[in-house]
Amino acid sequence: MSRIRIATRGSELALAQARAIAARIEAALDAETELVIVTTAGDRIQDRPLASLGGKGLFVKEIEDALLEGRADLAVHSAKDLPARTPAGLALVAWPAREDPRDALVARARGARLATLPRGARIGTGSVRRAAQLRALRSDLEIVPLRGNVPTRLRKLEEQGLDAVVLACAGLTRLDLADRIDERIATDVLLPAVAQGTLALEARADDPLAARLAALSDARAARSAAAERAFLARLEGDCNVPLAAFAEEEADGALRVRGLVASLDGSVIVRGEARGTEAASTGFAAAERVLATGGAAVLARARQALA
CATH number at residue 93: 3.40.190.10
Q: How would DSSP label each residue in 26-46?
A: HHHH---EEEEE---HHHH--
Q: What is the pLDDT of residues 84-123, one digit of tens each?
A: 999 999 999 999 999 999 999 999 999 999 999 999 999 9
Q: Is residue 21 part of a domain?
A: yes
Q: Are residues 85 and 10 both part of a single domain? A: yes
- Indicate the residue type of 86: T
Q: Are residues 43 and 110 both part of a single domain? A: no
Pairing of strands 122-125, 33-37: unpaired
Q: Is residue 283 part of a domain?
A: yes
pTM exceeding 0.85: yes
Residue 261's domain spans which residues? 229-306
The whole-angstrom separation of Cα 245 and Cα 264 is 17
Residue 268: pLDDT over 90: yes
Q: Are residues 137 and 285 both part of a single domain? A: no
Helices and strands of the chain, counted as H and E runs: 10, 13
Q: Are residues 42 and 107 both part of a single domain? A: no
The whole-angstrom separation of Cα 62 and Cα 47 is 20
Residue 185: pLDDT over 50: yes
Q: Are residues 67 and 209 both part of a single domain? A: yes
Q: Is residue 180 part of a domain?
A: yes
Q: Are residues 55 and 173 both part of a single domain? A: no
Residue 306: pLDDT over 80: no
Q: What is residue 20's DSSP assignment?
A: H
Q: Is residue 193 part of a domain?
A: no
Q: Are residues 25 and 87 both part of a single domain? A: yes
Q: Is residue 223 part of a domain?
A: no
Q: Are residues 93 and 136 both part of a single domain? A: no
Q: How confident is the model at residue 59 (pLDDT cuts 50, 70, 90)?
A: confident
Q: Are residues 56 and 204 both part of a single domain? A: yes
Mean pLDDT score, 57-72 = 91
Q: Are residues 15 and 91 both part of a single domain? A: yes
Lowest mean per-residue pLDDT among 57-66, 106-115, 180-189, 227-236: 57-66
Q: Are residues 170 and 125 both part of a single domain? A: yes
Q: What is the pLDDT of residues 218-262, one digit of tens each?
A: 999 999 999 999 999 999 876 678 999 999 999 999 999 999 999
Q: Is 19 left (phi over 0), alpha (psi -120 to 50) or beta?
A: alpha
Q: State the distance between the two ends of the chain, measured CA to CA, in whole angstroms.
A: 49
Active site residues: 81
Q: How confident is the model at residue 204 (pLDDT cuts 50, 70, 90)?
A: very high
Q: Whole-number mean pLDDT of the chain? A: 93
Please give the tally of structural domains in the chain: 3
Q: Say what the pLDDT of residue 52 is.
A: 46
Q: Are residues 141 and 267 both part of a single domain? A: no
Q: Is residue 222 part of a domain?
A: no
Q: Say what the pLDDT of residue 48 is.
A: 52
